[in-house]
């Protein structure tokens, strides 16, 4: 297994365990979790560990990494291998249009979730579980199936993904309505990360498209993150042909 794929596979295992632990902790001790949320990091609790894991993961994303996918590393100049041409304006428009659709769908879907949460009067601590669930889904999208890629973005793979660094803001979306230091510090850092990505994209679009960045082409790929997706796609095709 390629190192990057192994890194994301272990990420899936780790995030799944954290999610299950978070669900158990919240379901078993909702009042205590709420008290821990309001207290913040002045005392060590399981929430402190969850908060630190997310904060460290986001801080590391600001720096080049040999483990992370080129999908989120392509904004760095060191990962840029120019082809000698600029991306076609139609490529940029298509990518931006897909990103806009993803943004609208994500905000609309989460708005409905939060309306339902208010209507059913569910304790705010359960929104932590939703963040944990989103973190697991993030790795599933990378390794197995990404509805954003399939329906709206239409990009070839995660390496060429226009919105790769939107993952942490998406994870932290449910935390927006929890009035505590833990939640808002995570949201703030996630927004800064996404803003840096978008600013780099606007200033250096050539780093984000395989027509202008040779490192993003299949021939240069050292990750093979799409291996599981290809196998699933092949099995589905074989199944349709046999029916």
Ranges of each domain in the chain = 3-242
128: tokens are: 């932590």
Alpha-carbon distance of 163 to 166, in angstroms, equals 5
- Give residue 80's region: left, alpha or beta (phi > 0; psi -120 to 50): beta
Greatest alpha-carbon span in the chain: 61
Alpha-carbon distance of 9 to 140, in angstroms, equals 9
Residue 206 vs residues 113, 115, 155, 211: alpha-carbon distances, Å: 37, 40, 16, 8
Question: What integer pLDDT is reported at residue 243 of this predicted model?
Answer: 65
Considering the chain, what is the average pLDDT of its residues?
93
214: tokens are: 């040779």
206 in Cβ contact with 80 (< 8 Å): yes
Cross-strand bridge partners of residue 82: 213
- Residue 82 has φ and ψ, to the nearest 5°, of -65, 140
Host H or E run for residue 199? helix 181-203
Q: Which residue in 1, 2, 11 sits closest to 141, CA to CA?
A: 11
Give CA 139 to chain center in angstroms: 7
Question: What integer pLDDT is reported at residue 240 of this predicted model?
Answer: 73
Question: What integer pLDDT is reported at residue 66 of this predicted model?
Answer: 86
Question: What integer pLDDT is reported at residue 137 of this predicted model?
Answer: 97
Let me know how many helices (H) and strands (E) the chain has, helices first: 10, 0
Confidence category of residue 218, pLDDT binned at 50, 70, 90:
very high
143 in Cβ contact with 16 (< 8 Å): no
State the pTM of this model.
0.94
Q: What is the pLDDT of residues 125-135, one digit of tens each?
A: 999 999 999 99
* Residue 150 DSSP one-character state: I
Of all residues in the chain, the percent with pLDDT exceeding 70 is 98
Question: What integer pLDDT is reported at residue 230 of this predicted model?
Answer: 86
Confidence category of residue 40, pLDDT binned at 50, 70, 90:
confident
Examine the pLDDT at 101 and tell me if it is beyond 70: yes
- As a whole number, mean pLDDT of residues 115-133 equals 93
Question: What integer pLDDT is reported at residue 234 of this predicted model?
Answer: 82
Which range (120-129, 131-140, 179-188, 225-234) has the least confidence?
A: 225-234
Question: What integer pLDDT is reported at residue 222 of this predicted model?
Answer: 87
Q: Which residue in 156, 157, 148 sits closest to 4, CA to CA?
A: 157
């Amino acid at each position: 297994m390629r190192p990057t794929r192994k890194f994301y596979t272990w990420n899936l295992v780790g995030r799944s365990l954290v999610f299950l632990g978070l669900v158990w902790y919240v379901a078993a001790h909702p009042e205590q979790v709420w008290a821990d949320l309001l207290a913040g990091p002045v005392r060590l609790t399981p929430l402190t560990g969850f908060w630190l894991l997310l904060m460290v993961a986001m801080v590391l994303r600001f720096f080049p990494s040999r483990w992370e996918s080129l999908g989120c590393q392509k904004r760095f100049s060191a990962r840029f291998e120019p082809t000698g041409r600029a991306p076609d304006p139609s490529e940029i428009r298509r990518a931006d249009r897909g990103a806009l659709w993803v943004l609208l769908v994500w905000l609309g879907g989460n708005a409905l979730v939060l309306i339902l949460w208010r209507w059913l009067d569910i304790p705010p601590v359960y929104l932590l579980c939703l963040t944990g669930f989103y973190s697991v889904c993030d790795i599933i999208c990378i390794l197995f199936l990404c509805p954003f890629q399939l329906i709206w973005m239409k990009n070839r793979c995660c390496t060429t993904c226009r919105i790769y660094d939107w993952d942490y803001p998406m994870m932290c979306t449910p935390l927006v309505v929890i009035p505590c230091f833990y939640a808002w510090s995570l949201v703030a850092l996630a927004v800064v990360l996404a803003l840096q990505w978008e600013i780099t994209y606007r200033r250096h679009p050539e780093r984000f498209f395989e027509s202008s960045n040779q490192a993003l082409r299949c021939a240069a790929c050292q990750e093979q993150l799409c291996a599981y997706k290809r196998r699933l796609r092949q099995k589905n095709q074989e199944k349709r042909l046999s029916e």
